[in-house]
Amino acid sequence: MPNRRHILARRSGGYRGRRNNEPRTHSPRETERTVMLNVSRLSAFKYDMKEIMSHYEISEDSAKSVMASVIAKSSRVSIDSAIAYVREQEKTGLYPIESLRELCDLLDKFSKLR
């Protein structure tokens, strides 16, 4: 069985398109990285958003729609698009300005390059 052991050892470190003395070359990124919501901390983000909405006594139905839109835009498109959406909501006047500013700060806090 010494031959089998020798074959398995050779397979693990085999030729991978370059020789040992050649430096590794990294391919350039095809897409540019953007600032997006850190999805691993999504539950903490939702909790903080609910706290902001309840502190400013925003109705539950309108708060849910804003929260869903902000989460969708920040996790799929970018934080900048979510902040732009929050600024649009600020112009409509349905929500207190202070609450939306706190929401923008919260988005910055939970952001990540992806």
Say whether pLDDT at 114 is over 60.
yes
Tell me how far CA of residue 94 lies from CA of 57, 90, 100, in angstroms. 12, 7, 10
In a domain, 6, yes or no: no
What would the pLDDT profile of 49-87 be if each residue is shown by its tens digit?
999 999 999 999 999 999 999 999 999 999 999 999 999
Domain total of the chain: 1
Question: Which two three-digit tokens encode residue 59?
Answer: 């109705």
Per-residue pLDDT at 23 exceeds 80: no
Domain coverage including residue 94: 32-113
Alpha helices in 13-59, H assignment, sequence order: 42-55
**Quick check: is 27 in a domain?**
no
Q: Are 17 and 91 in contact (CB under 8 A)?
A: no
Q: Is residue 19 part of a domain?
A: no
The residue with greater pLDDT, 81 or 4, is 81
37: amino acid identity, one letter: L
pLDDT at 53: 93
